[in-house]
Chain A
Amino acid sequence: MKYRSVFDIIGPVMIGPSSSHTAGAARIGRVARQLFGKAPKTVTIRLYGSFAKTYKGHGTDVALIGGLLDFDTFDERIVQAVRLAEETGMAVEFIEEDEHTDHPNTVRLHLKDNEDELDIVGVSVGGGKIEITELNGFEISLSGSHPALLVVHQDRYGAVATVASILAEHEVNISHMEVSRKLKGQVALMVIETDQEVSQAIATDCLARPNMLNVAVLA
């Protein structure tokens, strides 16, 4: 089941005008920001399908930038996001792509600063709900129907066990888990879907442990 909670249907509380093109876009931007772990210096945003055709009218650009500034869907500062990004020195470029994607509301974000880069693909599936389909070249199958924890970490022994034990302490059950890496000992990615909601406290706790680089929560 794609939609799991009644609050996926009656909700979210958000700044208008579009749940898929504004709230969903803000959520994708925020996941990108959280995984990057800090404010990026430059962001290149490639829009596909309906996103590419109507982003200006729906405030998709404004909402994505709002998310990149770490604003939630109901944060009224979203309306001023373009100005606020300029003030904080975040340069954002939008590119309209013609390429056909599986879902009409798809966006690829490339975040950069002097040290780090992050590449992420998000899909806004409707009603403010989002899915993340790609992260730094890793194809990830996040159904979007369960709460999820994304952890970017150094590929070292004990990393998976650390995160799993933190979840256990908080009585959160893992329903699906994937671990992927490009090269042994380099950066790896844990994608963990859970039965219960993952609190920000869990994310903070994970991030404080050794070898953890970035953590983001998907509700």
Chain B
Amino acid sequence: MFRTVAELIDITKSKNIPISEVMILKEIEETGKSREEIFAQMGKNLEVMEAAVLRGIKEDVKSHSGLTGGDAVLLQKYIESGKSLSGTTLLDAVSKAVATNEVNAAMGTICATPTAGSAGVVPGTLFGLKEKLNPTKEQMVRFLFTSGAFGYVVANNASISGAAGGCQAEVGSATGMAAAAIVELAGGTPDQSAHAMAIALKNMLGLVCDPVAGLVEVPCVKRNAIGASTAVVAADMSLAGITSRIPCDEVIDAMYEIGQRMPSAFKETAEGGLAATPTARALEAKIFGAALAKERS
């Protein structure tokens, strides 16, 4: 039905339907399930996301390693103080992305979007924008189908695995997916969704996957935080009428090429980047009793 973002956008134009609807029709065609079944299944995923967000912003969640937890609560308190520089909506999205990843790091229940390490960006932006845009339950579920449509193209033409393509393939993809879905939720066109995705993903290109001690904690949680902010800003830029000079599909191809040529030390092996810093190796030794590898000299 569609393999590329260009084909996806063409269908929305020829049939005069939103991106979310194309994804739903494709799912019906592919699996033979009914629309109601598919909608209900996505509705359940939405509930899991909401529960994780609420847990993360209210409870003092701590991971087993002690490396992450509690930052979403700090952000919520800061928002309440009224002193935030970047604004309530943006920071709320950021705090809810953090909440999700903190719950994930604590071996809590989350919904992978597209992966667990990048699970914060999509629900973070959705629940962060809820107050401002006041969406119906159906619109919130559609947000997930729209994110899914862009993620589907990325997964099939590039990668959504940090081990295969670096963090750009995980948090990068999630950020692009969220940006595109925000545009649809805010009333933008499918073309604007594609530009938002392109703008967001361009700013994630080259991002390496270098988890400290091999844990999905540092820097993953904070990369989801900034990914959420990038998604909202990219959506705003696109809604303002700004376009990406490089089409979305070519940005995805570039991401794939960069991932292919990225050394394996930067692809979820904990052998390079932040994972190989003296502090990271010291943390590793503390957590596991001994460092997994020598620090970078």
Can you spell out 20 A-B residue pairs with CB atoms less than 8 angstroms apart? A1-B156, A5-B27, A6-B145, A7-B27, A10-B148, A12-B112, A15-B107, A17-B105, A19-B114, A20-B115, A50-B163, A55-B214, A56-B292, A58-B214, A58-B216, A103-B164, A126-B114, A127-B114, A127-B115, A128-B115
Contact A3 B109 (CB under 8 A): no
Contact B107 A16 (CB under 8 A): yes
| Chain A residues within 8 Å of B160, by CB | 9, 126-127
| Chain B residues within 8 Å of A125, by CB | 161, 164
Chain B CB within 8 A of A83 CB: no
CB within 8 Å of B: which residues of A? 1-23, 49-50, 53-59, 74, 76, 78-79, 103-105, 125-128, 195-197
Chain A CB within 8 A of B106 CB: yes
Contact A16 B152 (CB under 8 A): no
Chain A CB within 8 A of B125 CB: no
Residue of B151, B161, B215 with highest tally of chain A CB at under 10 A = B161
Please provide the 7 A-B residue pairs with the shortest distance between their CB atoms, ordered closest to farther: A126-B161, A54-B214, A57-B214, A16-B104, A9-B151, A17-B216, A6-B148
Residue of B147, B156, B216 with highest tally of chain A CB at under 10 A = B216
Contact B109 A10 (CB under 8 A): no
Stretch at the interface among B39-47, B82-90, B224-232, B237-245: B39-47
Distance in angstroms from A95 CB to nearest chain B CB is 16
Contact A57 B213 (CB under 8 A): yes
| Chain A residues within 8 Å of B214, by CB | 53-58
Partner of B112, one of A50, A54, A57, A127: A127
Inter-chain CA distance A197–B169, complex, in Å, is: 28
Contact B104 A6 (CB under 8 A): no
Chain A CB within 8 A of B138 CB: no
- Scan B156-171; emit 1 where CB is below 8 A from any A CB, else 0: 1001111110000100
Residue of A9, A13, A20, A50 with highest tally of chain B CB at under 10 A = A9
With A10-B144, A11-B111, A16-B108 known as contacts, the answer to whether A195 contacts B32 (CB < 8 A) is: yes
> Which B104-161 residues have C-beta < 8 A from chain A?
104-117, 119, 122, 144-145, 147-149, 151-152, 155-156, 159-161
Chain A CB within 8 A of B91 CB: no
With A3-B156, A6-B145, A126-B163 known as contacts, the answer to whether A19 contacts B112 (CB < 8 A) is: yes
Summarize A's interface: helix, strand, loop or mixed: mixed
| Chain A residues within 8 Å of B111, by CB | 10-14
Distance in angstroms from B64 CB to nearest chain A CB is 9
Contact A17 B215 (CB under 8 A): yes
Contact B148 A18 (CB under 8 A): no
With A59-B107, A79-B107 known as contacts, the answer to whether A127 contacts B31 (CB < 8 A) is: no
Contact B152 A6 (CB under 8 A): yes
Contact B117 A18 (CB under 8 A): yes
- 17 more contacts with CB within 8 A, not counting A6-B23, A13-B109, A14-B116, are A3-B155, A6-B27, A7-B41, A8-B152, A10-B42, A10-B45, A11-B45, A16-B108, A17-B105, A17-B117, A20-B162, A50-B163, A50-B269, A57-B270, A58-B216, A126-B163, A127-B114
Inter-chain CA distance A75–B116, complex, in Å, is: 15
Contact A3 B152 (CB under 8 A): yes
Partner of B115, one of A76, A103, A126: A126
Partner of A9, one of B44, B48, B114, B271: B114
Residue of A8, A18, A197 with highest tally of chain B CB at under 10 A = A18
Contact B269 A126 (CB under 8 A): no
With A5-B27, A50-B163 known as contacts, the answer to whether A17 contacts B217 (CB < 8 A) is: yes
Residue of B3, B106, B109 with highest tally of chain A CB at under 10 A = B109
Chain A CB within 8 A of B264 CB: yes
| Chain A residues within 8 Å of B177, by CB | 9
| Chain A residues within 8 Å of B119, by CB | 16, 19
Contact A16 B270 (CB under 8 A): no
Contact B148 A17 (CB under 8 A): no
With A2-B156, A9-B148, A13-B45 known as contacts, the answer to whether A23 contacts B117 (CB < 8 A) is: no
Contact B45 A17 (CB under 8 A): no
Distance in angstroms from B75 CB to nearest chain A CB is 20
| Chain A residues within 8 Å of B27, by CB | 5-7
Distance in angstroms from B143 CB to nearest chain A CB is 10
Contact A23 B116 (CB under 8 A): yes
Which chain B residue shows the least CB distance to A53?
A: B269
Contact A74 B116 (CB under 8 A): no
Inter-chain CA distance A119–B174, complex, in Å, is: 36
- Scan B40-72; emit 1 where CB is below 8 A from any A CB, else 0: 011011001000000000000001000000000
| Chain B residues within 8 Å of A57, by CB | 211, 213-216, 270, 292
Distance in angstroms from B144 CB to nearest chain A CB is 5
Partner of B109, one of A21, A76, A196: A76
